[in-house]
Structure 1
Amino acid sequence: MSFRKLALSLIATAAVLGGAVLVTDRRAAAREAAAEAAFPPTGQVLTVDGVQVHADVRGEGPDLVLIHGASGNTRDFTHALADDLARRYRVIAMDRPGLGWTTDGGAPILSPGEQARILRAAASRLGATRPLVLGHSYGGAVALAWALEAPQGAAGLVIVSGATMPWEGGLGLWYRLTDSRAGRAILAPLIAAYAPARLAESTVAEIFAPDPAPPGYLERVGAGLSLRRHSLRANTAQVNGLLPHVRAMAERYGDIALPVEILHGDADTITPIDTHSRRLARVIPGAVLTELPGAGHMPHHTHPEAVAAAIDRAARRAGLR
């Protein structure tokens, strides 16, 4: 092939690929706009060190901060649990940086400690200087970082299905594929633009298994917010980068002197109880572990009464009730 023909071929290929990229970006932007219109902020937005933090505040009583897990947002709590707790607590559910309606401040990745600092500052701005802090899944690591970095900044912890201890092995196909700049650059726009509805359905089913998701969960939780390009990138970067932070934090868990309640389903395959909560309960002095037989990764939906009871126990142990 002559140089001229090769050049023309490359130009044509680039034009096709460029057109495909443009179509993908436009489709992704349209779907993101639709998701944001369908699931607007439910609370207020505060600015902390350049980060816009979304906080949904409801109820009266002792302050209780709720921190969601990977790919989530405040709607995972306000779907049902927050209203029940708001009868006796001032509930503050916050989107973690990069997810929901909280921005990441332009940071490529925020560690659990950095996220805890930002959320703690936002909670303080709302008048919660010593709240109970509940963290689910990835949020469990953020809750523990909150206590480690500011021992006087929390009254107690409730860790639900927490990703809290070092683990062996990988994180699954999606996180392997996105564990690179190229993977995040290519896959995030494709998922945002073309992911079918059944992807969200199958993902929710996998997260809840072996329990069923509650009726209407997918319609209310705002899955489309998690499928935005910036949220996909933030989530994969945070999850792929979690292990070294958890490994370093685990060496300090013995210093935690707060009341700590831990709940975990023994059928959880997302954050297995043997890997995380059973080991965590052994290293935090006075920690109380409640095992939920047959329960999966989402007990705040499938066993809300057990989660509420753990919160009440932590509140009593902290002298808040």
Structure 2
Amino acid sequence: MKILLWLLALLVVFAVLTVWRATRNEAAAEAAFPPAGDFVDVGGTRVHYVEEGEGPVVVYLHGSGGNLNDGSFDLVARLSDRYRVIAFDRPGLGYTDMLGHNTPLAAQARLLADAALALGAENPIVVGHSFGGAVAMAWGIERPDVLSGLVILAGATNPWDTGISTYYKFLSHPLAGPVMANLLAAWVPERIVTDSVNAVFAPQSAPPGYYAHFGPGLTLRRFSLLENARQRASLLPQIEAMVPRYPSISVPTEILHGDADATVGLHIHSVPLSQQIPDATLTVLEGVGHMPHHADPQAVVDAIDRLAGRAGLR
């Protein structure tokens, strides 16, 4: 009996220590990487964004587990000499508020379209990377009235047959998830995040200075871990529901995808997508992995310029 009491006491101490460390680590991450831009209120939801430049509007939507710092690292500056570029944090990630739990693609698209309108940015070109590509597709379906064109970068846009990883199954579970999130936030070092991101960049490497700008610790906050996992766990059925609606997208669309992408497969996602949207153009980037906007940023800029011409914005 005494042994059980001691074990229980140790478990309580470990739990308290874990919550304390998670809270401390989150505070340290937010102190090191505070909001980089401003906030716009959309129906009581605060949306975090950065903005640069003047001209036709380009909106950038980041991928899974990320934040707008991914776009502001390089792409925003490359475009801001001739476009008004807005990068948003998606709901529950970065510094944008959550919309409940597990924000659906359609709700994300409507929120961010309304945020753009609140900033006076009508009919933007929407650029979506990876999971952000799925949100961009939802924007094309849900809010075609406030859209000039789509640029999909290695987007998750078509069904796959491998399910989700054990990691996301546990982290999205209503009981196991919060326990796992506390453990990750408390005890996992930031280098684990950087190692994971390095794997996403493969066969390329993250550019110098990327992690100092991106803020890996923001990804390890408990609410972001949980929201990202919930969004990932529910992504497949939402994409399956969207696919029949792709032919209704009438805006010009540029699709870029590396043929060395081991995260979101070219032939599973972008090749079919190029045939599902009537006015779509696919550019395959040889030897490029899952981060085309970093591996070949000029190709992305060229695609945006082409689309601006096709949409009559230049």
Match of 2:92 in 1: 98
Match of 2:16 in 1: 22
Task: Give the gaps of 5 or more residues in structure 2.
Answer: none
Greater mean deviation of Cα atoms: 164-173 or 246-255: 164-173
Greater mean deviation of Cα atoms: 17-26 or 61-70: 17-26
> What do residues 74-101 of structure 1 show as CA deviations (whole Å, max 9, x unaligned)?
1001111101111110000000000001
Q: How does 1:75-114 map to 2 (within 5 A)?
A: 75-105=69-99, 107-114=100-107
Task: Give the aligned residue type for 2:33.
Answer: F
Match of 2:281 in 1: 288
> Distance in 2 between the 1:30 and 1:67 partners?
29
> Distance in 2 between the 1:254 and 1:197 partners?
42
The structure number with the bigger radius of gyration is 1
Q: What's the offset of the Cα at 1:18?
A: 1.9
Q: How does 1:223-234 map to 2 (within 5 A)?
A: 223-234=216-227
Match of 1:146 in 2: 139
Match of 2:234 in 1: 241
Greater mean deviation of Cα atoms: 179-188 or 49-58: 179-188
RMSD of Structure 2 on Structure 1 (CA): 1.2
> Distance in 2 between the 1:152 and 1:108 partners?
27
Tell me the secondary structure at the aligned position of residue 217 of structure 2.
Answer: helix
Match of 1:66 in 2: 60
Match of 1:305 in 2: 298
Q: What's the offset of the Cα at 1:185?
A: 1.5
Normalised by the length of structure 1, the TM-score is: 0.95
Task: Give the aligned residue type for 1:214.
Answer: P
> Distance in 1 between the 2:11 and 2:70 partners?
38
Give the alignment partner of residue 245 of structure 2, picking from 247, 252, 259. Answer: 252
Tell me the secondary structure at the aligned position of residue 35 of structure 1.
Answer: helix
> Distance in 2 between the 1:282 and 1:134 partners?
19
Match of 1:132 in 2: 125
> Distance in 1 between the 2:307 and 2:5 partners?
65
Greater mean deviation of Cα atoms: 86-95 or 190-199: 190-199
> Distance in 2 between the 1:116 and 1:288 partners?
22
Q: How does 1:156-235 map to 2 (within 5 A)?
A: 156-235=149-228
Q: What's the offset of the Cα at 1:50?
A: 2.6
> Distance in 1 between the 2:205 and 2:81 partners?
26
Contact 1:85–1:91 (CA under 8 A) maintained in structure 2: yes
Q: What's the offset of the Cα at 1:9?
A: 5.5
> Distance in 1 between the 2:232 and 2:54 partners?
34
Give the alignment partner of residue 47 of structure 1, picking from 12, 29, 41. Answer: 41
Contact 2:61–2:87 (CA under 8 A) maintained in structure 1: yes
> What do residues 193-232 of structure 1 show as CA deviations (whole Å, max 9, x unaligned)?
1112330221111110011110111121011111100000
Q: What's the offset of the Cα at 1:49?
A: 2.4
Contact 2:190–2:217 (CA under 8 A) maintained in structure 1: no
> Distance in 1 between the 2:4 and 2:46 partners?
43
> Distance in 1 between the 2:3 and 2:242 partners?
54
Contact 2:271–2:282 (CA under 8 A) maintained in structure 1: yes
> What do residues 142-161 of structure 1 show as CA deviations (whole Å, max 9, x unaligned)?
11111101111100000000
Contact 1:200–1:223 (CA under 8 A) maintained in structure 2: yes
Contact 2:57–2:125 (CA under 8 A) maintained in structure 1: yes
> Distance in 2 between the 1:267 and 1:24 partners?
39
> Distance in 2 between the 1:197 and 1:62 partners?
37
> Distance in 1 between the 2:288 and 2:134 partners?
21
Match of 1:57 in 2: 51
Over the matched positions of the two proteins, sequence identity in percent amounts to 48
> Distance in 2 between the 1:63 and 1:79 partners?
18
Q: What's the offset of the Cα at 1:186?
A: 1.6
Q: What's the offset of the Cα at 1:172?
A: 2.7
Q: What's the offset of the Cα at 1:11?
A: 4.7
2:26 counterpart of 1:32? yes
Match of 1:119 in 2: 112
Task: Give the aligned residue type for 1:90.
Answer: R
Task: Give the gaps of 5 or more residues in structure 1.
Answer: none
Contact 1:96–1:102 (CA under 8 A) maintained in structure 2: yes
Q: What's the offset of the Cα at 1:10?
A: 5.1
> What do residues 90-134 of structure 1 show as CA deviations (whole Å, max 9, x unaligned)?
0000000000010104x1110111001111111100001211100
Tell me the secondary structure at the aligned position of residue 175 of structure 2.
Answer: helix
